[in-house]
C-alpha cells in the first residue's frame, strides 16, 4: 500500500518510524467492569464491588475492560450457579457479557477473570440484582367456632395476599374505595407482613365475626414503590355470603377397567360455590398423556393403552380454603409374559422325570387386573379337570402371583403327552395366552458346557465376538449371561442378558469388556432344578496407548534436541518393538526391555531435518503413535493493545496509527530477519504487502513500533503481521485498526471549528430529543426567527461554520440536544515520563434571543452515563455576540466532552457553539463567574467530585 511506509534505524536526527523499546513490555493483566444496557441503579458496595440493579426481561450488558500484554484471555463466571448458569469462555475480542431477557434466577455475582500467564490473574466482580413483581394472589380461609355455654357462632374470615417480588413487597388493602388500615374499623385486623419460604412476604386481613358491610369487594395492592419502573399490581376478591371452599364429585366407577383401544371419559362436577372453582386433572400427580382432551371438568382419553393406566385426580380450586381433590384409578386389561417350569419329584434327589414319581408343571402370566385372571388346562388338546392324581391349583402362595400348578401324582406311561396352560381374563376382549409343555420319556434336565477352545477367548478391540455355552436338555432352557468378576452391567446395559441359543454376541468390543462371563440356566421354560452354570474368559487386546499423541517443536538450524514417546497401557503389555521415522524414512528401531519409553535425539538440525517425526510402539493388537512436528516457523507476534494514543491525524482526510507489538518466544527459532506487513481496508479482498527489515536479535518482551501512515478517514483496516526467518514465514497475527479519537500526543491539543462535514468526529447523542445542526450564516434561513442566533461564525465570517440548536417547531420547552466529542483514548500511565494531568477545555458560545434556554458542558468517562451535575452551565439571553467559556479539568482516564443545549420557552432561543479546544495545562485566564471548575475551594463529598475521581486523560510528551 503506497501510503503505508516504514524505515529502520534511520540516521540520527530523523524521526524513526520503527523503533524498539529495550525494556520488557510484558505486563500482568488489570481488569475493570463497566456496564451498559438497562440498569435501574448502580450502588457502590464496600470498595470496588458494585450492585447492578436491572428489571426482569431487560438486557444485561457487562463489559470487561482489560489491559496487559500479551493480551489477556477473559472468562466470565457466576457464583453459586448450577451447571446451566455457567458461562462460556469469551474470546480475546469479545469482552462483553450480554444476557437478553434476563430472568430472576440469573441474578447473582458475576466475575470477570483476565489472565495472560504473567503474575496473578486479575479478577473483578459485580453483583446483579434482578427486580420483578408478580401478580398478587388472594386466598381465603374461614373458621367457625362454637362458644361454650352460649348458643352463638363466630364466623371469622382471613384474606391472605401473596406476591413474589424483589425487592420486598409493600401491601395495602381496600374495601370498595375505602382504604383499610389497622384501627380504622373495629371489625378489621391487619397482620403485618411475615415471611415464609414457600409463599414469600404476605399480609393478612382478618374479618372477625362477619357483619353485613363485610360482604364487599376487597382489593390487595402489591407495590415495590416503582423501583426500576415496576408499576403496582392489584387483585380483586369479592366476598359474599356464598363464598365457600369448593366441593366436587366424580361420575362413574372406581376403578375404571377398560380394554386397550377403548375411549375413556372421566367427568368431574364442582358444586355451585363462589368464586367459581377452576378444575384441573393430573395423572399420578404429574402431567396428563399428550393425547388427552380436556373440556371443562371432562377428561377424555382416546385409544387408551397400558401406558395410560394410573390414578387420575380432579382438583378444584377457587382460592377459598383448601383445594378439593377426588381420584379414580384407570386400569387397562392386559395379559403378557407367559412362562413355565417343570419340577421333578421334590421328595427325591433325582433331577430326572421317572415313572411312579411326582411331577409338577407350573405356569405363570402377568395379568391386569390380576383378580380377573383365569386358568384352564388341556392334555393333548382336550380339557383337563382336577382329580386325585391330577391336582390343579389356581394360585400358589409360595410363588409369584398369577401362577397355576398341575401336580401329576404317581406318573404313569399314559401321562406322557403335551399339556397346555390357557390364561384368559374374565371380562374378555383380550386374546388368550397358551403355553405348551411336553412331558415324555425324553424329557431330561439341562446340561451346560463351554466348547473346547472357546475359553479363554482372545479378540481385539473393535471386533465382534461371540461367547458360547453349549446347552442340552428337554425342554431347552433359557440361558442368562452376566459378569462373574465384577458387579457391572452387560454390554446392553442390563445386569443380565437372555439368550435362547447359548450365544452372547458383542459388537465393537472394548478393552473395558475384558473379564469373566457367567452363563447359567434359568428356571423358567425349563427344569426347576439347581441352575447349571459355566464361566467364559474374554481377553480383549488393544494397541498401546502412548503420549504425547502430537507435539509441535520449533527449533532453529544447528540445534540439538530430544523427543520421547512413552507407553501408558497396552494389552498384551509385552510390547514387541518401536520404530522412529521421519516421513517414511526409518530412523531407528528396536525391542522394548523393561523401560516404558523410547527417546530419539536430533543432533545439529539441518533443513532436511524439518518435518513430521513419528514413533510407532507395536504389540500384537496394533500400534500406538507419537507424532512430533519439527518446524523452524517463528511464533506469532502479539499486538500491544494498550498503546496510549495510538491514533492521530496529520491532515484533514487521512490519519496515522502507531502499531506496536512484541514477539512471542523470539529465541525459540532462528533470528527474525523481517516482518511481512499486510494491510487492507475491511471488506476489501486485496492485500497490500511490504517487508519491515529487522536488525539484530529481538529480546523477549521487546516492544516494536511501526507507524502506519496515509490511512483514509474514517475507514478501518485489517493489519496482518508475519515474522520471517531463514526457514521462511512464521505464524501470522491479524488485528483491526479503527479510526476513533483524533488526538495527537505531539500537538498536546485538540481543536475543532466545524469547518468540515465530519465535524472532527463529534457525534450526536442517540437518547436525546433532537440534534445539533451544522450551519453557516450564509446558508441559514432566519426570516422566521430574525431575533435569535448568530449572524456569522466566531471569526466573523458568514461562510464559516458553527453548530447550533434549532428551537422552532416541533421543538418543545425542555427538549435536549447533546453533542459528544470523540473519545480520547488514554492509557492509565505514561511510559515516557510524567504528564501534567490538568487540561483546559474551552469553546465559544452565542446565546442571543428572548427565549434562550440553557447550555451545559459535561465530562463523561468512557462506558459511564452522564454525571449528575455539569462542569459548566449558563442560562438566558447573553446578547448578540460570541463569548468564550473556559474550564479546568483534571481527568485520570479516557473521556468525552458533552455539550448540551436545552430549548427555552419559545422559538427565539437558538444556542450556537464554535471553536472547541482542549489544551494541556490549566487555563491561562481565570474562568468567568458563570463557569464552574471542578477545583472547589471547599471540601465536597467524594461522590460530588465530578472530574478527578471519574475521568482520565493521558497524553505523552515528546
Asked if residue 739 lies in contact with residue 823, where contact means CB atoms within 8 angstroms, the answer is no
Whole-model pTM above 0.75?
no
CA angle 766, 769, 770 (to 5 degrees): 80
For CA atoms 439, 443, 447, 448, give the dihedral sign. Answer: negative
DSSP reduced 3-state for 608: helix
Q: What is the pLDDT of residue 216?
A: 94
Whether the bond into 475 is cis, omega within 30 of 0: yes
Q: What is the pLDDT of residues 665-677, one digit of tens each?
A: 999 999 999 999 9
Q: Would you state the torsion angle of the CA atoms of residues 488, 491, 497, 501, taken in this order, to the nearest 10 degrees?
A: -140
> What cell numbers appear for 683 in the block?
471488506
Asked if residue 666 lies in contact with residue 700, where contact means CB atoms within 8 angstroms, the answer is yes
Determine the Cα–Cα distance for residues 721 and 692; give it in Å rounded to an integer: 10
Q: How far is CA 708 from the centre of its chain?
A: 41
Q: What is the pLDDT of residue 316?
A: 95
Q: How far is CA 248 from the centre of its chain?
A: 45
Determine the Cα–Cα distance for residues 807 and 786; give it in Å rounded to an integer: 13
DSSP string, 858-921: EEEETT----SS-SEEEES---SS-EEEEEEE---S-EEEEEEEE--SSSS--EEEEEEEEEES
Provide CB contacts within 8 A for 388, sequence distance 6+. 409
Determine the Cα–Cα distance for residues 669 and 685; give it in Å rounded to an integer: 32
Asked if residue 608 lies in contact with residue 629, where contact means CB atoms within 8 angstroms, the answer is no
For CA atoms 288, 291, 296, 297, give the dihedral sign. Answer: negative
> What cell numbers appear for 547 in the block?
503420549
Q: How far is CA 724 from the centre of its chain?
A: 42
Asked if residue 883 lies in contact with residue 853, where contact means CB atoms within 8 angstroms, the answer is no
Q: Would you state the torsion angle of the CA atoms of residues 947, 948, 954, 957, taken in this order, to the nearest 10 degrees?
A: 110
Q: Which candidate, 188, 120, 196, 186, places its Cα nearest to that of 164? A: 196
Q: What is the pLDDT of residue 555?
A: 96
The size of the chain, in residues, is: 958
DSSP string, 343-392: E--TTSS--S--TTS-EEEEEEEEEESGGGEEEEEEETTEEE---SSEEE
DSSP reduced 3-state for 759: helix
The segments of the chain whose pLDDT lies below 50 read 1-17, 22, 46-47, 80-86, 88-93, 146-152, 742-747, 784, 827-836, 927-958
DSSP string, 439-497: ESTT-EEEEEEPPTT-SSEEEETT--EEEE-EEEEESPPPEEEEESSSS---TTSSS-E
Amino acid at each position: 500500500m503506497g501510503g503505508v511506509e516504514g524505515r529502520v534505524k534511520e540516521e540520527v536526527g530523523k524521526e524513526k518510524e520503527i523503533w524498539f523499546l529495550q525494556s520488557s513490555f510484558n505486563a500482568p493483566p488489570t481488569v475493570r467492569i463497566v456496564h451498559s444496557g438497562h440498569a435501574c441503579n448502580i450502588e457502590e458496595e464496600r470498595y470496588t464491588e458494585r450492585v447492578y440493579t436491572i428489571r426482569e426481561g431487560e438486557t444485561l450488558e457487562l463489559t470487561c475492560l482489560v489491559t496487559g500484554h500479551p493480551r489477556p484471555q477473559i472468562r466470565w463466571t457466576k457464583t453459586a450457579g448450577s451447571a446451566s448458569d455457567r458461562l462460556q469462555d469469551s474470546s480475546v475480542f469479545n469482552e462483553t457479557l450480554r444476557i437478553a431477557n434476563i430472568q430472576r434466577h440469573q441474578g447473582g455475582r458475576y466475575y470477570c477473570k483476565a489472565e495472560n500467564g504473567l503474575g496473578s490473574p486479575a479478577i473483578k466482580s459485580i453483583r446483579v440484582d434482578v427486580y420483578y413483581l408478580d401478580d398478587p394472589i388472594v386466598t381465603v380461609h374461614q373458621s367457625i367456632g362454637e362458644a361454650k355455654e352460649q348458643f352463638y357462632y363466630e364466623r371469622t374470615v382471613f384474606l391472605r395476599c401473596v406476591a413474589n417480588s424483589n425487592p420486598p413487597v409493600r401491601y395495602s388493602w381496600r374495601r370498595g374505595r375505602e382504604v383499610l388500615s389497622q384501627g380504622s374499623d373495629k371489625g378489621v385486623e391487619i397482620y403485618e407482613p411475615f415471611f415464609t419460604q414457600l409463599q414469600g412476604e404476605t399480609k393478612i386481613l382478618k374479618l372477625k365475626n362477619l357483619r353485613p358491610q363485610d360482604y364487599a369487594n376487597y382489593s390487595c395492592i402489591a407495590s415495590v414503590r416503582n423501583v426500576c419502573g415496576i408499576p403496582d399490581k392489584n387483585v380483586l376478591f369479592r366476598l359474599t355470603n356464598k363464598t365457600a371452599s369448593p366441593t366436587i364429585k366424580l361420575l362413574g366407577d372406581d376403578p375404571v377397567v377398560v380394554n386397550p383401544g377403548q375411549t375413556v371419559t372421566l367427568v368431574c362436577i364442582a358444586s355451585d360455590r363462589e368464586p367459581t372453582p377452576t378444575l384441573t386433572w393430573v395423572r399420578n400427580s404429574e402431567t396428563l398423556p399428550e393425547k388427552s382432551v380436556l373440556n371443562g371438568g371432562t377428561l377424555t382419553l382416546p385409544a387408551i393403552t397400558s401406558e395410560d393406566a394410573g390414578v387420575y385426580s380432579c382438583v378444584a380450586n377457587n382460592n377459598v380454603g383448601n383445594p378439593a381433590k377426588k381420584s379414580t384409578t384407570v386400569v387397562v386389561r392386559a395379559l403378557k409374559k407367559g412362562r413355565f417350569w417343570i419340577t421333578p419329584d421334590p421328595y427325591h434327589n433325582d433331577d430326572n422325570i421317572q415313572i411312579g414319581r411326582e411331577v409338577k408343571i407350573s405356569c405363570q402370566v402377568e395379568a391386569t387386573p390380576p383378580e380377573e385372571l383365569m386358568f384352564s388346562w388341556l392334555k393333548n388338546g382336550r380339557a383337563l379337570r382336577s382329580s386325585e392324581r391330577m391336582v390343579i391349583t389356581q394360585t400358589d402362595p409360595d410363588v409369584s402371583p398369577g401362577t397355576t400348578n398341575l401336580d401329576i401324582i404317581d406318573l404313569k406311561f399314559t401321562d406322557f403327552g403335551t399339556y397346555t396352560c390357557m390364561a384368559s381374563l374374565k371380562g374378555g376382549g383380550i386374546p388368550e395366552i397358551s403355553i405348551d409343555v411336553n412331558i415324555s420319556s425324553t424329557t431330561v434336565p439341562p446340561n451346560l458346557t463351554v466348547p473346547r477352545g472357546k475359553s479363554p477367548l482372545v479378540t481385539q478391540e473393535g471386533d465382534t465376538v461371540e461367547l458360547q455355552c453349549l446347552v442340552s436338555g428337554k425342554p431347552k432352557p433359557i440361558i442368562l449371561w452376566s459378569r462373574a468378576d465384577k458387579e457391572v452391567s452387560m454390554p446392553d446395559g442390563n445386569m443380565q442378558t437372555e439368550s435362547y441359543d447359548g450365544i452372547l454376541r458383542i459388537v465393537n468390543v472394548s478393552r473395558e469388556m475384558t473379564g469373566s462371563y457367567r452363563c447359567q440356566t434359568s428356571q423358567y421354560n425349563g427344569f426347576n432344578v439347581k441352575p447349571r452354570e459355566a464361566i467364559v474368559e474374554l481377553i480383549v487386546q488393544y494397541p498401546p496407548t502412548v503420549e504425547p499423541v502430537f507435539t509441535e517443536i520449533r527449533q532453529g538450524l544447528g540445534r540439538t534436541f530430544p523427543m520421547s514417546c512413552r507407553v501408558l497401557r497396552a494389552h498384551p503389555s509385552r510390547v514387541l518393538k518401536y520404530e522412529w521415522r521421519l516421513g517414511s524414512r526409518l530412523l531407528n528401531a528396536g525391542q522394548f526391555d523393561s523401560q516404558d519409553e523410547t527417546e530419539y535425539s536430533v543432533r545439529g538440525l539441518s533443513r532436511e531435518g524439518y518435518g513430521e517425526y513419528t514413533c510407532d510402539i507395536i504389540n500384537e493388537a496394533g500400534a500406538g503413535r507419537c507424532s512430533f512436528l519439527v518446524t523452524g516457523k517463528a511464533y506469532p507476534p502479539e499486538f500491544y493493545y494498550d498503546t496510549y494514543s495510538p491514533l492521530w491525524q496529520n491532515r484533514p482526510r487521512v490519519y496515522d496509527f502507531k502499531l506496536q507489538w512484541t514477539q512471542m518466544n523470539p529465541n525459540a527459532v532462528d533470528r527474525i530477519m523481517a516482518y511481512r506487513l499486510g494491510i487492507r481496508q475491511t471488506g476489501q479482498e486485496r492485500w497490500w504487502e511490504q517487508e519491515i527489515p529487522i536488525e539484530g536479535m529481538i529480546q523477549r518482551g521487546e516492544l516494536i513500533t511501526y507507524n502506519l501512515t496515509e490511512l483514509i478517514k474514517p475507514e478501518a483496516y485489517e493489519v496482518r503481521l508475519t515474522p520471517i526467518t531463514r526457514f521462511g514465514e512464521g505464524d501470522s497475527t491479524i488485528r483491526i485498526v479503527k479510526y476513533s479519537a483524533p488526538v495527537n500526543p505531539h500537538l498536546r491539543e485538540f481543536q475543532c471549528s466545524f469547518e468540515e462535514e465530519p465535524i472532527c468526529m463529534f457525534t450526536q447523542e442517540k437518547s436525546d430529543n433532537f440534534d445539533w445542526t451544522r450551519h453557516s450564516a450564509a446558508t441559514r434561513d432566519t426570516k422566521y426567527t430574525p431575533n435569535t442566533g448568530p449572524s456569522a461564525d466566531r471569526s466573523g465570517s458568514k461562510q464559516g461554520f458553527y453548530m447550533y440548536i434549532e428551537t422552532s417547531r416541533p421543538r418543545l420547552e425542555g427538549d435536549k440536544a447533546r453533542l459528544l466529542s470523540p473519545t480520547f483514548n488514554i492509557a492509565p500511565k505514561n511510559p515516557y515520563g510524567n504528564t501534567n494531568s490538568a487540561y483546559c477545555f474551552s469553546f465559544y458560545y452565542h446565546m442571543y434571543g428572548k427565549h434562550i434556554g440553557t447550555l451545559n458542558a459535561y465530562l463523561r468517562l468512557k462506558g459511564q452515563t452522564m454525571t449528575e451535575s455539569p462542569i459548566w452551565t449558563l442560562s438566558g439571553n447573553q446578547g448578540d455576540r460570541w463569548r468564550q467559556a473556559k474550564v479546568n479539568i483534571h481527568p485520570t482516564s479516557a473521556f468525552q466532552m458533552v455539550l448540551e443545549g436545552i430549548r427555552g420557552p419559545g422559538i427565539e432561543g437558538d444556542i450556537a457553539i464554535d471553536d472547541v479546544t482542549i489544551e494541556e495545562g490549566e487555563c491561562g485566564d481565570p474562568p468567568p463567574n458563570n463557569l464552574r471548575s471542578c477545583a472547589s475551594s471547599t471540601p465536597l463529598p467524594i461522590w460530588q467530585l465530578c472530574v478527578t475521581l471519574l475521568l482520565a486523560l493521558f497524553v505523552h510528551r515528546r
